[in-house]
Each structure stands twice: as C-alpha cells, then as structure tokens.
C-alpha cells in the first residue's frame, strides 16, 4: 500500500493511522515523509506528526533517484505533480508487485489514469473499511470512495480513455 503525505496527515487527523498501519503494509517515499513535516504552524496539537514515530510505523520508506523521476517525466508530460507525488509514482512504476496507491490529489489521480493504473487507486475510506475501522472523526470528502470514483470517472473522460 503506497500512501502520499495527504493520506498520512488525514489518518493522523482522524486518529486512524495506527489502525491503517496495523492492518495494511503501508509504504511511502522519503519526499512524502518530508511533506508531513511542513505546515506545523497550521495544525492542532493532536494533528502533529512525530517523524520518528511515523518512520517506525511504516513498513518501508523508499528513496527515489533522478533517473526514476526522469522515467516518469517522459511518460507524464503535461501533468504537474508535487515532489512527493512525483516520487511516489516514480517509485510505483519500478515495482513488480501488486501495489495500490492511496492519495487524493487530482494531478496524481490523473497520472494513475493516464498510466493505466486506475484499478490500483484506492480511497482512504475503503482501506479503513476493509479493516473494520470505525472512525471517530469523519474523513474529509476527498478521502472517500464516492469522491475517488467520481473524480476518476471525470479524469477518464477528460483523458479520452476508452473503458
């Protein structure tokens, strides 16, 4: 399970991170971990993410090099990904296993659709429901399965991809 910084932050905000990492093999890339450490001045105390605890809870934190990013850039011309999502997709392209990617950014989802991986895109809501996790705090709309399905459908149509 590959997650971006937004998913990590939302999981911490809703108190679901421990459930997510206990029930799924959660991995990310170094750039996404770095992104979780920005914006502290705008977060409440319970939303702060300790980097050491985060790293210990991950099954893996992958480094991505410029060659991997260049391979992605050649395939994704015209899509502006932020650094974390760019690294996450560059890493995903080099994997041979059956990974899934959880991240609500529309540019990242467009990348997945264009690369032919829309069946590997998953919402945070679905991941938590698979675990039987009962949320105490509601997820923001763009972490729901409904939002993901609607957005991916819109992107498939916008990209002109035949189903």
pLDDT tens, position by position, 121-142: 999 999 999 999 988 899 999 9
> What pTM does this model have?
0.94
Give pLDDT, residue 97: 96
What whole-number distance in Å separates Cα of residue 72 and Cα of residue 137? 36
CB 79 within 8 A of CB 110: yes
Pairing of strands 60-62, 101-102: unpaired
Q: Is the predicted pLDDT of residue 41 greater than 60, yes or no?
A: no
Q: How many CB atoms lie within 10 A of CB 27?
A: 19
Contacts by 147-150 with C-beta closer than 8 Å and gap 24+?
147/104, 147/123, 148/104, 148/109, 148/121, 148/122, 148/123
48 falls in which pLDDT band (50, 70, 90)?
confident
Instruction: Give the pLDDT band of residue 42 (cuts 50, 70, 90).
Output: low
Mean pLDDT of 32-49: 78
Domains of the chain: 2-159 (3.40.50.1010)
């Amino acid at each position: 399970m590959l997650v971006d910084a937004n998913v990590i932050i939302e999981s911490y905000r809703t108190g679901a991170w421990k459930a997510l990492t206990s029930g799924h093999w959660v991995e990310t890339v170094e750039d996404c971990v770095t992104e979780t450490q920005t914006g502290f001045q705008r977060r409440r105390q319970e939303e702060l993410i300790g980097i050491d605890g985060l790293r210990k809870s991950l099954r893996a934190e992958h480094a991505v090099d410029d060659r991997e990013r260049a391979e992605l850039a050649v395939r994704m011309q015209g899509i502006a990904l932020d650094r974390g999502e760019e690294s996450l997709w560059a890493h995903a392209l080099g994997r041979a296993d059956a990974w899934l990617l959880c991240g609500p950014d529309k540019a990242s989802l467009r990348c997945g659709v264009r690369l032919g991986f829309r069946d590997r895109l998953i919402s945070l809501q679905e991941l938590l429901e698979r675990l039987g996790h009962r949320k105490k705090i509601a997820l923001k709309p763009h972490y729901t399965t409904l939002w993901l399905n609607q957005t991916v459908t819109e992107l498939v149509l916008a990209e002109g991809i035949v189903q």
